[in-house]
Amino acid sequence: MSAGRGAALVICDICGETYDEKTYQIVVPVLRASFDKIDCAERALQRELRKANRPALEEALFEEVEQLREQLRELRGHVY
């Protein structure tokens, strides 16, 4: 779906909201997916973690969640 010049609107698989992935997105490499909010990325990681039965994947997902939380803390520290 697209709107406007150069916009790349996509729908978040978790919350269903539309966002422009050219201006802002949360990328989770281990899931090969992007999301509109850190909360959605974390929910997707948790969902995948529940499905995972392999320690290596579980560890990778845990690391992704920790990285997202750190990015969120950094973003909250900035005033725009």
The residue range of the domain holding 46 is 9-77
- 22 part of a folded domain: yes
Neighbours of 30 (CB within 10 A): 14
Give the DSSP H or E segment for 10: strand 9-11
Which tokens is 30 given? 């281990």
Model pLDDT for residues 11-60, shown as the tens digit of each residue: 988 999 998 888 878 888 888 888 888 889 889 988 887 777 666 777 77
**Predicted pLDDT at 5:** 59
- 3 part of a folded domain: no
**Predicted pLDDT at 6:** 63
- 2 part of a folded domain: no
The pLDDT of 53-77, averaged and rounded, is 79
- 4 part of a folded domain: no
Per-residue pLDDT band for 72 (boundaries 50, 70, 90) equals confident
For the chain, how many structural domains are there in total?
1
Measured CA to CA, the distance from residue 44 to residue 64 in angstroms comes to: 11
